[in-house]
C-alpha cells in the first residue's frame, strides 16, 4: 500500500500552528535516548511527506543526524482529529529542497531564525496510525 495524506490531514497539519495545535516531533539518539519537541513549522510537503524548518539545531537535530527514524504527533481535540506519522527524516542544509521548505515555512518560525541558519527536514512517511495505535495506512 502507498501512503497518501488525505486533504483533511494536509489542511489540518498546514494550519496546526495557526490553530494552536502544533505538531510534536519524537526523535531518538542512536543509543535510544528519546527527545520530543514542538514543530510549529510542520507542513504537508507532498502526498507522502511532511517537512519542517529546523531552526534551533539543538537536541532533536543532532539525533536526526544519528537516527533518522521519527514520529510526528498531531492532535486537535475539538475537531476530534489525531494522527501519528512514522517515517524517516532527511536533513537538507542547502539546495533546492531546503529552499522550498523555507519558502513555505510560516513567518512566525522564520522570524526566530533571522539569519536563516536553519535546515529543511523532510519526513518520508512509512505508516500513519490513530492516536490509539491502529494503523490507518502503511507502506
Q: Is the pLDDT of residue 65 over 80?
A: yes
Q: Is the pLDDT of residue 61 over 90?
A: no
The whole-model pTM stands at 0.95
Q: What is the pLDDT of residues 68-127, one digit of tens each?
A: 999 999 999 999 999 999 999 999 999 999 999 999 999 999 999 999 999 999 999 999
Bridge partner list, 137? 128
3-state secondary structure (DSSP) of residue 98: helix
Amino acid at each position: 500500500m502507498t501512503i497518501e495524506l488525505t486533504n483533511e490531514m494536509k489542511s489540518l497539519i498546514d494550519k496546526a500552528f495557526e490553530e494552536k495545535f502544533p505538531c510534536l516531533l519524537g526523535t531518538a539518539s542512536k543509543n535510544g535516548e528519546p527527545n520530543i519537541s514542538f514543530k510549529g513549522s510542520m507542513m504537508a510537503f507532498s502526498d507522502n511527506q511532511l517537512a519542517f524548518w529546523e531552526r534551533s539545531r539543538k537536541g532533536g537535530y543532532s539525533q536526526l543526524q544519528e537516527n533518522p527514524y521519527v514520529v510526528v504527533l498531531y492532535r486537535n481535540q475539538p475537531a476530534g482529529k489525531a494522527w501519528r506519522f512514522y517515517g524517516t527524516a532527511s536533513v537538507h542544509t542547502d539546495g533546492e529542497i531546503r529552499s522550498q521548505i523555507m519558502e513555505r515555512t510560516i513567518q512566525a518560525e522564520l522570524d526566530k531564525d533571522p539569519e536563516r541558519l536553519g535546515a529543511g527536514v523532510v519526513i518520508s512517511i512509512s505508516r500513519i496510525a490513530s492516536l490509539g495505535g491502529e494503523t490507518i495506512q502503511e507502506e
